[in-house]
Amino acid sequence: MQKKSKLLLASAVLGSIYLIYIVYYFVSKVLNASDAAEAVGSGLATALVAPHMFVLFLAVIFNWIGWAASATWSALTGAILYCVSAFLFILYTPFLVLQIIFSFMGFARLRKQKRFKPEV
What's the CA gap between 103 and 110, in Å, rounded? 10
Residue type, position 76, single letter = L
Q: What pTM was computed for the model?
A: 0.90
Instruction: Spell out the domain ranges in the chain.
Output: 6-115
Cβ pair 108, 100 in contact under 8 A? no
pLDDT truncated to tens, each residue of the chain (120 aa)? Answer: 568 899 999 999 999 999 999 999 999 998 898 899 999 999 999 999 999 999 999 999 999 999 999 999 999 999 999 999 999 999 999 999 999 999 999 999 999 887 776 665
pLDDT at 1: 54
